[in-house]
Structure formats: C-alpha cells, structure tokens
Amino acid sequence: MTAASFAVRTGGSRQLAGTATLLRFALRRDRVMIPVWVAVDALMVLSMPNTLKSLYGTQAQRDDLLHQMTTNSSLRALVGPVFDDSLGALTAWRVGVYAGALAAVMSLLVVVRHTRDEEESGRQELVSSGMVGRRAPLTAGLLAAAVANGVLALLVAAGMASHGGAGAVAFGLGIAGVGMVFATMTAIVAQLTESARLARGLTAAVLGAAFVLRAAGDSATDGGTSQAFGTGGGSSLLTWLSPIGWLENLRPYAGERWWVLLLFAAAALLQGMIAYELAGRRDLGMSFLPTRPGPASGRLGTADALAWRLQRGGVLGWSVGFFLAGVVYGGLTDGAADLVGDNENAREIFERMGGKSGITDSFLASMVGMLGLVAALYIVASVLRLHGEETSGRAEPLLANAVGRMRWAAGHLTVAFGGSALIMLLAGLGFAAGYGKQVGPVMGACLVQVAAVWVIGGVAVLLYGVAPRLAPAAWGVAGAVLLIGWVGPALDVPQAVLDISPFGHLPKLPGGSMQWAPVLVLLGVAVVLTAAGLVGVRRRDMTT
Amino acid sequence: MTKAISVSGLHKSFGRTHALDGLDLEVETGEVHGFLGPNGAGKSTTIRVLLGLLHPDSGAAQVLGHDPWRDAVEVHRRIAYVPGDVTLWRNLSGGEVIDLYGRLRGGLDAGRRAELIERFELDPTKKGRTYSKGNRQKVALVAAFASDVDLLILDEPTSGLDPLMEEVFQRCVEEERERGRTVLLSSHILSEVEELCDRVSIIRKGQTVESGSLAELRHLTRTSVSAELVGAPNGLAHLPGVHDLDVQGKRVRLQVDTDKLDAVLRQLSESGVRSLTSTPPTLEELFLRHYQEEAPKDAEVASR
C-alpha cells in the first residue's frame, strides 16, 4: 500500500476537525440525560454512609460483619468482600460494584448515542459533510462520556472526603474508571455492528459477564478480607479479569492500591486506540460485522405478528436474563440468609423489603422484589416501542393500511404486558432451579409482582396516549420507583414516600400472607391507566 | 359515479400554525388527480387527514364514501399509501415489508408483485437499513401497485427515483388508471403531473386556489405570442389582457391572457402577419403564477 492510499484509507489529515463543536453539541443534547445519571449514581453512593452508620453502628456489629464476610461466599458474590471496617470502606464495599456498573451503563448509552446511533439514523452523514474529521464524532462521544464520568468522580470524591480524602479520591476515580473502560469498549463495539440496538446489547452482555466474573471471583476467595485481618488469602484471579473487579481491587479506604488506576487507564487507552483504528478504516454507516440478507418474501401478515417480530429479540434477552438472575439469587439464598440473620439491623432492612417471617423468606422476597423493579424497566421499554414507531415515521404508512390504531397498539401492548408476566414467570423458574425449595410460594411471589409492573406499564401507556411528547418521562417514573424500592428500605424513608410506588403495596411474599385486595386494586389501576391511554391514542392526531 | 375523495372546508391548526384553512378537494373515481402546491402548503397534512391519522378541526372529508377518521380500517382496506420518505424496519427485508403491507390491505397479487420487483429492479432480500432512499421508495411503490385496492394515495412518491425508474412509475400509474383505479398524486415533478394527471388541484396556504383539468387551467393563464408583421402594429397596448408588450419595428412580442387571445390575433392580422409563433403556457408558468405570493399579483392588477 502506498503512502497516499494509506492516508486515504485512514481518513487523511485533520481527522479531529470539528471535535470541539461536536462535543458542545453532544453535551447540549444530553443536558438532561447525563446530569440525571450522574446525580442518581452519586446519590446512591453518598446516601450510603448514613445508612451504614445506622446498620453497623457499634464495633461489635462491624466485627461480626467482617467475620461473616470471610466465611460467607454467597454474600460476597452479591456485594463483594469487606476490606476494612471504617464507614468509607463499608460504603465502598456496599455500593462500589453497583456504582461502577451504573457508570458503565451511562457511558455505554452516551457513546452509542453519539456514534452508531447517529450513523444508523443517517444524521451523521449530513454532519460529516461539514468540516468534521473522520474520527471527530467518536472523539466527541468519548469526551462526552469522559465529562460525565469526571463530574461523577468529582462528586463522589467531594462527598466522601469527610470519611478520608485518599479513599474518596480513589473511590471516585475507580467508579469513573469503570465508566471509561466501558465507554471505550462501547466505542469498539459501535464499530463492529451496524445497529445501535445491537451495539448496546452486546456491550451490556459484556458488562453482565464482567459482573458475573467478579461475583464468581469474590465467591471463590475472600478477596483478602482475612488477609487484612492477618489470616492470609488474596483476590481471586477472576476479579482481575473484570473491570468491575478492579474497582474492589483498588481498595478505596482500605490501603489504596493506586497502581490499579493505571490498569483502568491502560485498558481505556488500549480500547480507545483500537476503536480509533477501526473508526479510521471503515466507511460511514458500514460495520465490520456484515448484515445478512433476509428472505425475498415474508410470512408476516398482521400488526400483531409485526409487533412480536420487532420485540421478540428483546423478550428473549430479558427472559434469559431473568431466568439466570433467578438461578443466581436462588443459589445464594441459603448462604445469604445465614449471614443476614445474625445482624439485627441488616435483618431489619430485609424485613422492611421482604416482610417479617424468617430471614430466608425475607431474603427471597427482597430479591423477587428487586427483579420486579427491574421488570418495570422492561415494560417501559416495550410500551415505548409504540412511541418509537410513531416518531420514526414507520407507524404512518402502517396505519394507512387496514390496521386500526387499537389493533396496532394492542399488538405491542400484548408483548409489553404479556412479556413482563413471562419474564417474572421465568425468574420464578430460575429460583426453583437455583433454590429448589418453596417452588410454589416463590413462583406466586414472582407473579404477584406483575400487578405492580403493569401499573408502571399503564403509566407509560397513559403518557404515550395522552401526551406523546412526554412519553419518555415514563423512564423517569420507572427510575423513581426503582430508587424508592432499592434505597427506600435502607434509608428508612417515611411510609408516605414508599406508598408512591405501586411495589410498596404488594404483599411481602413468600412468607407473608397473600392479600388479594391490594393486588386486585393495582390490577384495576393498571387497567384504568391503560384504557385511558388507549382512549388518548384513539382520539389524538398521530404525530409525524 | 361517487367521488373517490370529497373534502370541503377543511381546517386544521397546529398551535398557532394554520396548516389547512378551508381546503376543498374533489377527486372523481377512476381519475388520476394531481395535488400540487408549494412546500408547506398543507399537502401532506391533507393526506394525513384523508388517511385518518389527523382529526380535522372542522370541515368534512369523505374517502371512498366513508369518514376516514371514524371508518379508518374499513377505508384503508381499499387504499394504498406511499409516503415521500419511506422508513423501513432495519431488520426486516424489503420482501417481508411488501408482503406485510399487502396482507394489511385488500391482499396482494403475487404475479404482479414479482413483475413489479422485476420492473423496478428491486432486490427484496436486502434489510431495511441497507436500502438507499430510492430503493426504500421502490419497496413502498411495489407494495402499493401490487395491492388489490381502489385508491392510491401517493405523496411525492418518486423522490429519489432515477429517470428510468420514474418512467416505470409513470407506466404503472397509467396501468392503474386503465384498471379503473383512482390515484391522488402529490408531486413537484411537473412533467410527471402533465403526463399523468386528468385533473389537478393547486393549493396554497391551506386553501385550494385552482382545480380543474389542465386544459381548463391553461385557459386561465397567458399565452406567449411573437409575430413579424407586414406593417407597424397599432392598438395592441389598449387591448384587454395584454401584458409585457414589446414592439421593435415590425416585430412584436407579447403575453396575453389566453381567453383574450382572439382579439389580439384579429388586431395583428389587421397589420398583416408574416410569421407567428404562439406558445401555450407551460405548466411551470401555471404553477409559478399560483405559487407566488399575493403581492406580485396585486401589483399586476394595479398596473393594468
């Protein structure tokens, strides 16, 4: 290859032209999304010290916790090992894994949004026809993610500083480090796939794998907990294979191992370089994984079939995820219950989440409840497919056929509402496979969640039907419910706040007694909301 | 014979924008009707009302004898619609979309489907994302022409098609007419409209400003006349309907309102005509006259 053609192939000169403008533009477009993500993640971290103070106030309680963590592999798999007994160290232990994972999800969304999404929609073509270098869009996307992660690191470091400056800086940088490793990984995946949806899905799968590797590693060894207290042992190799594991190996508030930050930097740099290399060598809109041709004629014949065809990939992914989550949580149940059972305050939290009827039942009920909250995200995503179809202009020609709006909406809503019941059912089967006992009651507990999930689905339908421009606010509703459900019990927030969430009204199963009244009321609310939304869909103009 | 489309006094506002301001539209069964107007005149809004996707603020619309809002599904069974900008599902092949649309209408003629794919040179196995604009347009066109329907509503359907495909499209529309189907064709390609349409409606600012056959519309506009005379012309300037008169010795150039042509010719022949060229108004002139704002028109009136 001659020098000239090489220059053409890699994009010629001024490959970063326009990056500053694009970055400003990206931050402007994300002026709501990034602050919300950063705030939620930072809030989750910064609310934790107070909670832990109330949970493990005395030295005896902390000693007890440390002792348990060295002996209980199930709980270590869930939240990671404890390295020290200061409030800072306990905070890093309790939320580090999740704060890192949230930063990773945020980075994934930001990077795909400004790279592959733009190309797939065709918007990039027009933007790139201006004075925009070949690698500028990718650079701007990565910089936007860097800004978001940087602010997050600052907030965490500043907020945690009162518990120790060095630990706070290490913790903040570690969380941002996980974010940036996944930002650059997303940058690579976005070069490989032609579809933004697939790019998001693949990176999320990698994130899931990183989570599992860390969990497996922590469950296998005590991660050095006992070493810190003079009994030997070290981190499992598996935790070193997972960027989320690096965060705990960084040991914020427990003798920071600063060199681990170099690992984050090196990984982000290496992945970034690979992404840059790929981005410079491919054509706009094209990908390294080719798109296969489809059939010349199709069997799709109804709006229902189309809705299923469009959503079946999502349903399949969520089903697998929920089944596996059921298996994992089910498998952890016995061990986790042992540990929590010994701590009065921790038991109280689980009881607030899962009801007062023995710690095993409380633990099961809490985990089932968590999955229910996550299922709310599924139903919002699924219901909002209607919104996506409408705003993309695909609904218009479809509805110009002999397809009533109700028929069209019903197809997608069947997938949304039926799918959420299906994934909860599969979670129940997962528990049955992983735990093996109380199959009936746990299955029942999973299915009861569906009533609350459907209320969230109903809210999404209502927003879409009555105020289509506000339809994305359904994400905010699901997020708020998730926050109340996850953080609420630990913070001991007032019942009035917990009551906002439909999940707060569900009977605590298994263990508690089945109460039909609240479940039926929730189902009624879901029906009313959905019906009102559908009336809106029927009466309003289609937006185009 | 009932009208395929009958619209009167249609109003539709989006916030402070009055997209439709008392629009009327009549389309006879079996005709190809051109639907013309500058950008933002309300063509697409009208079509969306005809498809029952928008509810008009006031006014009446009937499509194939039904209310398009109330009886949307019933009407749509007999309609095929092609938007100006076709968006496809990225993971469905073109063939799958054609078949889906066919089944969601009155059905699909398999033989015609194959023939159209051949004529439009469309690869039906490609996925939605990989089609170019013109090819996405072809997917919708094949689906429309192969469907068993009574009315085709085409909203700038040929944007992105090459001239050869444009030709194929025109043949297809003619075949539809021969089969007795009604076509509402919104287009900016005037040669296309001139070639295909029996009647046209021109709209501007949400109102119908002209409607009729091309011959009728031509009648309302001006003919260019240029002549070489035996003697110097006289009296032309005083004739009604004469514009842009340019006399250079014995050569005359002028524009005359077509319905006043007779008087001009008589006046010219009085001076003795050596040669005469008369050009009927082009469709472009027709449109330009209607598309332009009120202001120049008023100025013309004042100058008379």
pLDDT of res. A491: 64
Domain count within chain A: 2
The answer, for B69 touching chain A at a CB cutoff of 8 Å, is: no
Determine contact, residues A219/A74, Cβ cutoff 8 Å: yes
Whether residue A76 has pLDDT greater than 90 = no
The three-state secondary structure class of A487 is helix
Judged against a pLDDT cut of 60, whether residue B86 lies above it is answered with yes
CB contact under 8 A, A302 and B104: yes
Are A439 and A512 in the same domain?
yes
Least-confidence region, from A46-60, A154-168, B6-20, B153-167: A46-60
If asked whether residues A433 and A540 sit together in one domain, one would say: yes
Better-predicted residue by pLDDT, A486 or A2: A486
Q: Are residues A282 and A335 in the same domain?
A: no
Same domain, A388 and A341: yes
**pLDDT score at B87:** 87
- In this predicted structure, the answer to whether residue B84 has a pLDDT above a threshold of 70 is yes
B237-246 long-range CB contacts below 8 Å, 24 or more apart? Answer: B239/B263, B239/B264, B239/B267, B243/B300
Query: Does some domain include residue A297?
Result: no
Average pLDDT over residues B211-230: 83
Which secondary structure element, helix H or strand E, spans residue A45, and what is its range? helix A33-46
Identify which of B95, B104, B127 has the shortest CB distance to residue A402.
B104
Report how far residue B99's alpha carbon sits from residue B107's, in angstroms, rounded to the nearest whole number.
9
Return the closest-CA partner of residue B90 out of A104, A197, A494, A78.
Answer: A197
CA distance B81 to A157: 58
Chain A nearest CA to B160, separation (Å):
15
Residue B91's nearest CA partner among A7, A295, A256, A189 is A295
Same domain, A319 and A281: no
Helix/strand/coil for B9: strand
Among the ranges given (A189-203, A374-388, A526-540), the one the predictor scored with the smallest mean pLDDT: A189-203
By C-alpha distance, the chain A residue nearest B44 is A544
Q: Please tell me whether residues A189 and A269 are part of one structural domain.
A: yes
Which of the listed residues A252, A286, A320 is the one where a domain comes to its end? A286
Q: Name the burial class of residue B24, with classes exposed (0-12), middle (13-18) and buried (19+) by CB atoms within 10 angstroms of its CB.
A: middle
CA distances (Å), origin B42, targets B37, B38, B130: 8, 9, 31
| pLDDT at site A229 | 41
**CA neighbor of B99 nearest in space, from A36, A464, A295, A120:** A295
Radius of gyration of chain A (CA): 24
The pLDDT confidence band at residue A502, using thresholds 50, 70 and 90, is very high
Query: What token pair was written down for B37?
Result: 């107007």
Picking from A178, A175, A191, the residue whose alpha carbon sits closest to that of residue A112 is A191
What's the whole-number average pLDDT of chain A? 86
Q: Which of A258-262, A531-535, B233-237 has the lowest mean pLDDT?
A: B233-237
A9 inside domain: no
What are the structure tokens assigned to A391, written together?
């705003």
Say what percent of chain A tops pLDDT 70: 90
Q: In what order do the strands lie in the sheet with B242-248?
A: B242-248, B251-257, B222-229, B273-279
The pLDDT, as a whole number, for residue B92 is 87
- Phi and psi of B212, rounded to 5°? 160, -175
Token readout for A207 is: 């994130």
Residue A4 lies in a domain: no
The predicted structure's pLDDT at residue B293: 56
Residue A213 resides in a domain? yes
**Two tokens at A245?**
């594991």
The pLDDT, as a whole number, for residue A492 is 67
With H, G, I as helix, E, B as strand and everything else as coil, classify residue A132.
coil
- Is the peptide bond prior to A502 cis by the omega test (within 30 degrees of 0)? no
Exposed, middle or buried, A152 (CB in 10 Å: 0-12/13-18/19+)? buried
Does B119 have pLDDT greater than 50?
Answer: yes
Shared domain check, A358 and A265: no
* Residue B291 CA to its chain's centroid (Å): 13
- Is A54 within a domain? yes
Average pLDDT, integer, range B191-218: 88
On the 0-12 / 13-18 / 19+ scale of CB atoms within 10 A, A372 is buried
**A275: in domain:** yes
Alpha-carbon span A543 to B15, nearest angstrom: 13
What angle (nearest 5°) sits at the alpha carbon of residue A513, between those of residues A510 and A514?
Answer: 85
- Quote the pLDDT of residue A340: 63
- Report the pLDDT value the prediction gives residue A379, as an integer from 0 to 100: 97
The total of other beta-carbon atoms located within 10 Å of residue B194's CB is 15
Which is higher by pLDDT, B148 or B287? B148
Interhelix angle A344-354/A359-383, rounded to 10 degrees, is 50
Q: Is the pLDDT of residue A8 over 50?
A: no
Q: Is the pLDDT of residue A7 over 60?
A: no
Kindly state whether residue A386 falls inside one of the protein's structural domains.
Answer: yes
Local confidence band at A53 (pLDDT 50, 70, 90 cut-offs): confident
B87 touches chain A (CB under 8 A): yes
Residue B17, strand partner residues: B14
Are A92 and A157 within one domain?
Answer: yes
User: Does B304 score more than 60 pLDDT?
Assistant: no
CA distance to A75, A163, A298, per residue, from B101 (Å): 54, 64, 11
DSSP reduced 3-state for A289: coil
Nearby residues of B272 by Cβ (< 8 Å), 6 or more positions away: B229, B230, B231
Query: Identity (one letter) of the amino acid at A363?
Result: F
Q: What is the pLDDT of residue A544?
A: 66
User: Could you give the CA distance from residue B37 to residue B155 in angstroms, rounded to a whole number?
Assistant: 12
What pLDDT digit, counting tens, does each position of A289-327 carry?
Answer: 777 788 888 888 899 999 999 999 889 989 998 998 898
Contact with chain A for residue B43, Cβ under 8 A: no
pLDDT the model gives residue A343: 65
What pLDDT, on a 0 to 100 scale, did the predictor assign at position A342?
Answer: 62
3-state helix, strand, coil in chain A (%, to 5): 75, 0, 25
A356 and A442 share one domain: yes
Across the interface, do A303 and B53 touch by the CB < 8 Å criterion? Answer: no
Yes or no, beta carbons of B127 and A293 under 8 Å apart = yes
* Average pLDDT of span A72-98: 84
Do A79 and A49 share a structural domain?
yes
Dihedral sign of CA atoms A267, A268, A274, A275 in order: positive
End-to-end CA distance of chain B: 43
For B140, nearest residue in chain A (alpha carbons):
A397
Burial A123-144 (b: 16+ CB within 10 A, else e): ebeebbeeebbbbbbbbbbbbb
Reported as a pLDDT band with limits 50, 70 and 90, residue B210 is confident
Task: Extract the tokens encoding A273.
Answer: 């370089």
pLDDT bucket at A236, cuts 50 / 70 / 90: confident
pLDDT for residue B104 is more than 90: no
SS3 label, residue A297 = coil
Residue listed under structure tokens 């009313």: A528
Residues of A with CB under 8 A from a CB of B: 120, 194-195, 291-303, 306, 309-310, 392-394, 396-405, 407, 539-542, 544
Q: Two tokens at A408?
A: 């069209």
Q: What percent of chain B has pLDDT over 70?
A: 95
Choose the closest CB to A301 out of B53, B92, B100.
B100
Contact check, Cβ <8 Å, B125/A398: no
Confidence of residue A509 (pLDDT cuts 50, 70, 90): confident
Lowest mean pLDDT among A128-137, A140-149, B115-124, B282-291: B282-291
- Of A226, A253, A286, the residue at which a domain comes to its end is A286
Q: Assess whether pLDDT exceeds 50 at residue A4.
A: no
* B101 has a chain A CB within 8 A of its CB: yes
Domain limits for position A81 = 17-286
pLDDT tens digits, one per residue of A101-139: 999 999 999 999 999 999 888 788 778 877 788 889 999
Task: Name the more confident of A524 and B51.
Answer: A524
Whether the Cβ atoms of residue A75 and residue A222 lie closer than 8 Å to each other: no
A267 to chain B, closest Cα gap in Å: 33
- pLDDT-based confidence at A5, cuts 50/70/90? very low
| B302, pLDDT greater than 60 | no
Instruction: Let me know how long chain B is.
Output: 304
* Residue-level pLDDT at A494: 78
Is A418's pLDDT higher than 90? yes
Q: A343 and A470 in one domain?
A: yes
The confidence score (pLDDT) of residue B72 equals 84
CA proximity to B100, closest of B55, B140, B63, B49 = B140
Strands (E), B29-180: 32-36, 58-63, 79-82, 151-155
The pLDDT tens digits of the residues spanning A181-219 come to: 999 999 999 999 888 888 998 999 899 889 888 888 887
* Residues A363, A273 within the same domain: no
- Among the partner-chain residues A303, A306, A541, the one whose CB lies closest to the CB of B55 is A541
Q: Is residue A2 part of a domain?
A: no
Structure confidence at residue B1 (pLDDT): 53
Given this model, what pLDDT does residue A60 score?
A: 86
